[in-house]
């Protein structure tokens, strides 16, 4: 089974802090994604990556950055945390198969609270 | 991506088959139907997907109508652990891009 592991299930940080959320997948997937999920707003894509050292902005990249130095690891960085970044953050991965859409596999999420 | 319509909630007795409908009347010929579910406090879980043929795996069956405008996810023997929000989505793309969930169907399994 595909395993996507997020470093923390719950995290509490203060406004202005730099926050790192880590995600690791064990299936050698090329594609990795960061989403946030908020009540009434559904799932929104923050950043994604198709390969090591590659990154592309999703729908709501403002206030976030990402890092992908190794294939299995995709980090989300909140440069200066703000209260409106309190949310559930979900990491996902999928393989690239050149022309056939593959399902994304999700981690269990990190519930981040910014005080 | 085409939009989908699902009932907001459904009940099913434990041990019975749960049949979850989804309408996707504007689906394009190269769009797949995907189903995910999300159990409370967990990340979304992939269940099954298909293009036009019916599909079955160890979790569920997917029945797609001949005109592809609707589909049904079948959980053959529902258990309490199947209580979750179920999302039907349609997707196309040569690269795996973002997933957009609608409101989904909240499935309650009754003991």
Model pLDDT, residue A102? 78
pLDDT in tens, B20-45: 999 999 988 888 899 999 998 889 99
Beta bridge partners of B49: B34
Q: For a pLDDT cut of 90, what percent of chain A falls above it?
A: 77
Judge whether B32 is closer than 8 Å to chain A, CB to CB.
yes
* Degrees to nearest 5, angle at CA B63 with B95 and B19: 115
Helix, strand, coil in percent for chain B, rounding step 5: 5, 45, 50
Secondary structure element (H or E) that encloses residue B90, with its range: strand B84-91
Interface with A, mutate which of B50, B99, B101, B102 (most A CBs under 10 A): B99
The whole-number average pLDDT for the span A57-71 is 95
Q: What is the pLDDT of residue B91?
A: 81
What number of other Cβ atoms are within 10 A of residue A115's Cβ? 10
Mean of per-residue pLDDT scores for chain A: 92
B interface test, pick of A27, A35, A43 with most B CB neighbours within 10 Å: A43
Mean pLDDT of A65-87: 97
Tokens of A55: 């990154």
């Amino acid at each position: 089974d595909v395993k996507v592991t997020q470093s923390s299930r719950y995290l509490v940080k203060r406004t202005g802090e730099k926050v790192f959320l880590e995600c690791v997948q064990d299936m050698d997937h090329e594609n990795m994604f960061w989403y946030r999920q908020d009540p009434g707003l559904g799932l929104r894509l923050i950043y994604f990556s198709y390969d090591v050292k590659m990154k592309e902005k999703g729908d709501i990249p403002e206030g976030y950055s990402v890092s992908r130095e190794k294939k299995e690891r995709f980090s989300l960085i909140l440069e200066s945390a703000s209260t409106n970044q309190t949310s559930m953050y979900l990491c996902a991965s999928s393989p690239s198969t050149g022309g056939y859409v593959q399902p994304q596999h999700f981690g269990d999420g990190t519930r981040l609270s910014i005080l | 991506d085409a939009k989908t319509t699902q009932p907001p909630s459904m009940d099913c007795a434990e041990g019975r088959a749960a049949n979850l409908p989804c309408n996707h009347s504007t689906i394009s010929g190269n769009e797949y139907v995907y189903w995910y579910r999300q159990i409370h406090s967990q990340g979304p879980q992939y269940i099954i997907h298909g293009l036009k043929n019916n599909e079955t795996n160890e979790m569920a069956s997917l029945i797609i109508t001949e005109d592809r405008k609707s589909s049904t996810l079948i959980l053959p023997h529902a258990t309490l652990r199947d209580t979750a929000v179920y999302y039907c989505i349609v997707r196309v793309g040569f690269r795996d891009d973002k997933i957009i969930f609608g409101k989904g169907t909240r499935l309650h399994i009754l003991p």
